[in-house]
Amino acid sequence: MKNLYFLVLVFVSLISSSAYSEELHIKSNKVDVKLLSDPDSWTYEILMNGESALKDDGQILSFMFNKSNDSYFWGDKEYLIIQITTGGSGCPAFFRILDPNKEKNSLTEEFGTCSDTPNISESENGLILSFPTREPNINRVWRYENGVLSEKST
């Protein structure tokens, strides 16, 4: 199984309450992940070209690392796979795909089986994510192709 690494693109200073911002560049688009903190909750926001693509309160957002090309980008269109960490051990994560496009950026709904260890591969027209389930030898597979996310049975 392919080892996947992810990096939370924000770092929290225990001394300072100031927000930290990290930027990634995708060809002609710009991804800007910001963490805003307050005493009670965290807010993560992904901005693309200055517009909000995703904002989440109380859950950690991170990008899945593509070890095969040493970047966070997947496929020819440079998709970003966002891991949403729930903070629980029974259901550690869900995922979304951010599809950068010059005309309109699109973001899938959350998907996955609660597993934080998907097997990710690239297809000719997109991505394939296979997740283990609690049942032995059964995986659930999602395909993101031509802008459409669909679950395929295995």
The residues near 33 (Cβ < 8 Å, ≥ 6 apart) are 9, 10, 21, 22, 23, 24, 44, 45, 46, 47, 61
In this structure, is residue 48 part of a structural domain? Answer: yes
Q: Which residues pair with 46 in a beta bridge?
A: 33, 54
In this structure, is residue 149 part of a structural domain? Answer: no
Tell me how far apart the alpha carbons of residues 152 and 31 are, in angstroms, rounded to a whole number.
30
Structural domain count, the chain: 1
CA torsion sign for 100, 101, 103, 104 is negative
In this structure, is residue 134 part of a structural domain? Answer: no
Confidence of residue 8 (pLDDT cuts 50, 70, 90): very low
Provide the domain limits for residue 72. Answer: 5-10+20-115
Predicted TM-score (pTM) of the model is 0.75
- Coil/strand/helix, residue 47: strand
Least confident of 18-22, 26-30, 73-77: 18-22
pLDDT per residue over 99-149, tens digit each?
Answer: 887 677 788 999 999 999 999 999 988 999 999 988 888 899 999 998 899
In this structure, is residue 62 part of a structural domain? Answer: yes
In this structure, is residue 143 part of a structural domain? Answer: no
C-beta pairs of 13-18 under 8 Å, 24+ apart in sequence: none
